[in-house]
Amino acid sequence: MTIATLRPGLQPRLLMCPPRHFAVTYSINPWMDPAQWADGAADLRACAARQWTALESALHEAGAAIETVAPREGLPDLVFTANAAVVLDRKALLARFRHPERQGEQPVFAAGFRALAARGLLDAVIEPPEYAVLEGAGDCIFDKRRGLFWLGSGFRSDAAAARLIEDTFGVPCLALTLADARHYHLDTALCALPCGSVIYFPAAFSAAALDLLHSHVAPHERIALGPADAARFAANAVCVGRTVVLSGCGETLRRRLEERGYTVVQTPLNAFMRSGGSACCLTLRLDHASEAAGAQSMLARRAAGLR
């Protein structure tokens, strides 16, 4: 799909942050090793810059408009804009981070979102309440086909944030407990495609979470990853139109996506994987819209005690 074929209001819009100050200087997940980063810092920095630019080009080529937030010294993880907020129907609910290392990003992202609102790209920017940690879309994935959010909890975001999401956006939010520290954010283990298929790594979820996922995603819609694809962050994919952009994937996954009508674009992001992030983590979708009727009927059914 090219930009020319999309009506302006329908063009996918992504928020990114250039990696000028990206580095691994602390460790808040099992992928992060500051000593190893320091060993090759100059090369790794240059590599991150090249890989980020290639990702941005691939997304632009696929038809996305790219907005940016300016990088800030001392905030190396600001590049992971997926964690900045949950955005739906032109409303942004700002993140509250679990670790002090990332809490300094909150005011920077808040200013960034207010600037987007001033330009007319958002209607509302909502401060997060004190009581819940919620690390943005990195842990709260909008499943457009089902008209609901999937929330990852157990490492970063609180399961209690599900209620906050439902109250804020008026769509159901189903909490999935994550069980593997290497998949500490939901977007490292699950990607909901617009056709209804879901890419996921079963071993990242608790047994109850898998049951819940399977009760909503039919067998033919499940694209389960093996450990090799999971380890190269294949679930951390960005879908723009019919293009799926990811860091890397095996032949079988590529074929399964192509069978469903997607074009797969692989763009290596190993410099960012040293921080526990990849394609999806480096982007935040600003234009997701609910089909309000479907979402509200599911909430109403639930209120009436039905499934």
Residues with a catalytic annotation lie at 185, 281
Under rule CB under 6 A, residue 83 binds ligand ARG: yes
According to CB under 6 A, which one of 153, 157, 168, 188 is a site residue for ligand ARG?
188
According to CB under 6 A, which one of 22, 80, 142, 201 is a site residue for ligand ARG?
80
Footprint of ligand ARG on 97-136 (CB under 6 A)? 102
3-state SS, residue 264: strand
Cβ proximity to ligand ARG: between 29 and 263 the closer is 29
CB of 156 to ligand ARG, least distance (A): 7
Under rule CB under 6 A, residue 187 binds ligand ARG: yes
3-state SS, residue 194: coil
Under rule CB under 6 A, residue 185 binds ligand ARG: yes
Work out the angle at residue 184's Cα, subtended by the Cα atoms of residues 220 and 68, and round it to the nearest 5 degrees: 90
Strands (E), 212-283: 222-224, 238-240, 243-246, 263-266
CB of 221 to ligand ARG, least distance (A): 23
Under rule CB under 6 A, residue 149 binds ligand ARG: no
Which span (7-15, 75-83, 170-178, 221-229) binds ligand ARG, by CB under 6 A? 75-83
Q: Give the torsion sign (CA, 149, 16, 241, 200).
A: negative
Size of residue set near ligand ARG by CB under 6 A: 16
Under rule CB under 6 A, residue 19 binds ligand ARG: no
For 181, phi then psi, to 5°, come to -60, -25
Per the CB < 8 A criterion, the answer to whether 191 and 233 are in contact is no
Under rule CB under 6 A, residue 67 binds ligand ARG: no
Q: Closest-CB residue for ligand ARG? A: 138
- Beta strands 198-200 and 190-192: pairing type? antiparallel
For 74, phi then psi, to 5°, come to 90, -5
Identify the residue whose tokens are 């992928």. 31
The C-alpha torsion from 239 through 226 and 176 to 79, rounded to 10°, is -50
Under rule CB under 6 A, residue 275 binds ligand ARG: yes
Under rule CB under 6 A, residue 55 binds ligand ARG: no
- Rounded Cα distance, 28 and 105, in Å: 15
Q: Where are the alpha helices (H) located in 91-231, listed in sequence order?
A: 100-103, 105-118, 161-169, 207-216, 227-231
Under rule CB under 6 A, residue 283 binds ligand ARG: no
Under rule CB under 6 A, residue 290 binds ligand ARG: no
Which span (25-33, 124-132, 242-250, 252-260) binds ligand ARG, by CB under 6 A? 25-33
List interacting residues with ligand ARG (CB under 6 A).
Answer: 28-29, 32, 77, 80, 82-83, 102, 138, 185, 187-188, 275-277, 281
